[in-house]
Amino acid sequence: MAIGPDTKGVYTIAPTPFEADGKIDWESLDSMVDFYERCGVDGMTILGIMGEAPKLDAGESLEIVKRIVARTRLPVIVGVSAPGFAAMRSLARASIEVGAQGVMIAPPPALRTDDQIVTYFRNASEAVGEDVPFVLQDYPLTLSVVMTPVVIRRIVTDNPACFMLKHEDWPGLEKISALRGFQKDGSLRPLSILTGNGGLFLDFEMERGADGAMTGYSFPDMLVDVVKLSVAGERDKAHDLFDAHLPYLRYEQQPGVGLAVRKYVMMKRGAIASDAQRKPGSALSAAARQEVDYLLMRLESRVRKQAPR
């Protein structure tokens, strides 16, 4: 189960379960891993932005990596984005040592010019070690760093260790087409593209050439099925399933409060014991919880009508 430029499928972005007082909930880490395996995902990406990674200290981060790697036989990718390369390197090396298969790196928000971005990833790969496979995260909405397809190609070309793009530009469909076009004209080597943004455009991202999804939607089983249907050429069925989820998916995909929604639903689905976040966190009002419940009810009813698929 090695990861590489031909990796396909669904890598879930895992949240970090906490107890009400902010302590890490180690048992929920285990049950969450089991939940993801039951959902059929192909791998896990942990300690990303939606994993509340910046709220952990260095020791906690590594403990979480160890726990998850010990629990699963799926490939684990560790978010190691940090304000500096020393902290990035420390977590990356230690994670690989305990069994993680790769790391994910996002650019710091201050980067502006093409050259600044390209140089940053060169330095980052050198810092974590050229032997450490890394995922390039392209997420302008939150990180405010804008990478053109040409810049992505430069990064991939410069860094043999870059095997995957976590694509979450918005809008982003043309970017997938541009990168796949580069590959057709021979100017870009093979590269796995998994898409994010909560899955909001997964239906068309697959059709544009994505290899799957890397996002934390609380129904990873749906992501798995949509990816499979799409790969199988069952376009209408893929869209039918996707559309059934969209009213709720859109609700979970909100910035800020979205993580509260996601954890609430994962709690309802039995994946984690509590939807608590570490401070500073968002929380669901009573009204929001009722809205989510209503959306889930409608989702269930609509999916039931579609079955048997």
Q: Which is nearer to a second copy, 287 or 307 (CB)?
A: 287
Q: Is 222 annotated as a binding residue?
A: no
Position among 2, 4, 130, 148 found at the interface with a second copy (CB under 8 A): 148
Q: Which of 32, 30, 80 is nearest to 58 (CA)?
A: 80
Which residue, chain included where needed, has tokens 């991939």?
Answer: 156
DSSP 138: E
Backbone φ and ψ for 40, nearest 5 degrees, come out as: 90, 20
Contact map string, positions 223 to 242, toward a second copy, x by CB under 8 A? ----------------x--x
According to CB under 8 A, which residues from 154 to 173 bind a second copy? 170-171, 173
Position among 21, 59, 307, 308 found at the interface with a second copy (CB under 8 A): 59
Position among 4, 54, 160, 270 found at the interface with a second copy (CB under 8 A): 54
Long-range CB contact pairs, 31-36, < 8 A, 24+: 31/270, 31/271, 31/272, 31/273, 32/266, 32/271, 32/272, 33/68, 33/71, 33/72, 34/71, 35/266, 35/269, 35/270, 35/271, 36/12, 36/72, 36/74, 36/220, 36/271
Position among 1, 21, 73, 86 found at the interface with a second copy (CB under 8 A): 86
DSSP β-bridge partners for residue 103: 78, 134
Q: Which is nearer to a second copy, 47 or 74 (CB)?
A: 47
Options 38-46, 51-59, 131-139, 154-162: segment touching a second copy (CB under 8 A): 51-59
Q: Does 94 sit near a second copy (CB under 8 A)?
A: no
Q: Which two tokens stand for residue 283?
A: 């929380």
Burial class (CB in 10 A: 0-12, 13-18, 19+), 211: buried
Residue numbering of the annotated binding site for pyruvate: 214
Binding site for a second copy (CB under 8 A): 52, 54-60, 83-87, 89-90, 109, 112-116, 119-120, 123, 127, 145-148, 150-151, 170-171, 173-174, 177, 200-201, 203-204, 207-208, 239, 242-243, 246-247, 250-251, 254-258, 278-280, 285, 287-288, 291, 298
Residue numbering of the annotated binding site: 214
